Amino acid sequence: MAERGTTGGARAVERCRTLGRAPYSDMEGGLFRAWLSSSFVAAQKAVAGWMADAGMDVATDPATNLIGRYEGTQDGPALMIGSHLDSVRDGGFYDGPLGIMLGIEAVAALKAQDRRLPFPIEIIAFGDEEGSRFPAAMLTSRAVAGTLEDYSLEMTDAEGVTLRQALQGFPADTALDAARHAPALAYLEAHIEQGPVLEAEGLALGVVTGIAAQLRYRLTVSGKAGHAGTTSMSLRNDALASAAEIILLVERTARAGAEDLVATVGFIDAKPGAANIIPGRVDMTLDVRALDPSVRDGAASVILDGAQTIAQRRDVRLTAEQIHDLPASPCDAGLADTLATVLEQQGHSPRRLASGAGHDAMVMEALCPTAMVFIRCRGGVSHNPQEHVEIQDAEAALQAILGFLDKLEVTHDA
Ligand code: HGY
Ligand code: MN
Ligand code: MN
């Protein structure tokens, strides 16, 4: 694979772009890399080669995560650096892979200096962070952190393939039993900000203080399908019109709440789905997030209670199934200070900011202290093919990671 990247940052960006197209995408003319799909297998092979080139021993764990290991001068808990290899539908090149590629470049830089740190380093490419294939998300980092409880091997993707079937052929234990029984030294994730703050303030990098709590539900509205031409308006139990009123309630509730409170209906499916049939059933998702869990939970109950009132008035039935509850996750204050010092020493202002987006770091916090460095992305756009990162910002992030490693090396032996 010819690579023009002259710096580690350039090569990391180049590799993310390479992974953005066939055979590393399941989608014609765009990027969708679903966990356990053929494009995922192809991407894992490419990343495994890059990890090996950087001097790492490469393996997959029982939850299909790809791990490159670079031994230290001492054994003991490893510093884990990583992010996710799966993508959202019609996603951008950098959400996930950039954090993996920068980790690989950091190890490549150590190898080039024939340098070993007093601790092992593991670069981990998580398989499923987005939850864009199966209903639950963060499955494979939760498997590593030992917090994977609410999942089923029988859950199905949009084609009706069960997780059990999808795992066949992977060296994965069907229990996804990848829990680490000893804490890691720390987990570091470099990730595009996926928001507008760094760009608005003319900053390349930021230090993440914490990650918002997120609740996710599957809502089902059951009404009565009927003839669109003969059923008078007063006699309808229109599931889609009811869902529309609920969606506006979701938006109104979030707008009225705290600045960082967000709520989204990202997926909706109306059945039977014909122009001349009143929709009898709607399935949709509800995603509610806030840094303060009580704000998140308060908004979720206002929405769910209000939605039930709408359903009763419209004589339809509403069921709400919680898909996941990801608690708010603080990054380790000491590691955030270390990152902030490194940024300052490298000429950046140590801007600290919270993350509304979820990341594997919020799950890994159950296993070890976590740190995240945010990288400016154009227009704050993400989960969109327009996602873009500048090479010099990726290079700045790589230098920050290397600076962070230098600090850990010193404190580790202290
Ligand atoms: O949903 C999220 O925040 C992340 O992109 N999975
Ligand atoms: Mn991500
Ligand atoms: Mn994402």
pLDDT tens-digit map of 254-277: 999 999 999 999 999 999 999 999
Q: What is the mean pLDDT of residues 2-20?
A: 87
Structure confidence at residue 5 as a pLDDT band (50, 70, 90) = low
How high is the pLDDT of residue 181? Answer: 85
Structure confidence at residue 110 as a pLDDT band (50, 70, 90) = very high
96 lines ligand 1 (CB under 6 A): no
Residues 337, 338, 344, CA angle at the centre, nearest 5°? 85
How high is the pLDDT of residue 2? Answer: 45
How high is the pLDDT of residue 170? Answer: 86
Structure confidence at residue 175 as a pLDDT band (50, 70, 90) = confident
Residue 130: which of 327, 331, 360 has the closest Cα?
Answer: 360
Q: How far is the CA of 130 from the centre of ligand 1 (A)?
A: 6
Q: How far is the CA of 194 from the centre of ligand 2 (A)?
A: 9
The ligand whose atoms approach the alpha carbon of 363 most closely is: 1
Q: How far is the CA of 87 from the centre of ligand 3 (A)?
A: 7
Secondary structure (3-state) at 152: coil
Q: Which atom of ligand 1 is nearest to the CA of 84?
A: 6
Cβ atoms 130, 137 nearer than 8 A: yes
189 lines ligand 1 (CB under 6 A): no
How high is the pLDDT of residue 173? Answer: 64
Instruction: Collect residues with CB below 5 Å from ion ligand 3.
Output: 95
Considering only CA atoms, give the Rg of the chain: 22
User: Could you say which DSSP state residue 179 is in?
Assistant: -
The yes-or-no verdict on residue 174 having pLDDT over 80 is no
Long-range Cβ contacts of 28-32 (<8 Å, 24+ apart): 30/90, 30/91, 30/385, 31/87, 31/90, 31/91, 31/92, 31/93, 31/385, 32/87, 32/88, 32/89, 32/90, 32/91, 32/132
The ligand whose atoms approach the alpha carbon of 84 most closely is: 2
Cα dist. 302→253, 293, 307, 373, 398 in Å?
7, 14, 8, 34, 43
Q: How far is the CA of 190 from the centre of ligand 3 (A)?
A: 13
The yes-or-no verdict on residue 1 having pLDDT over 80 is no
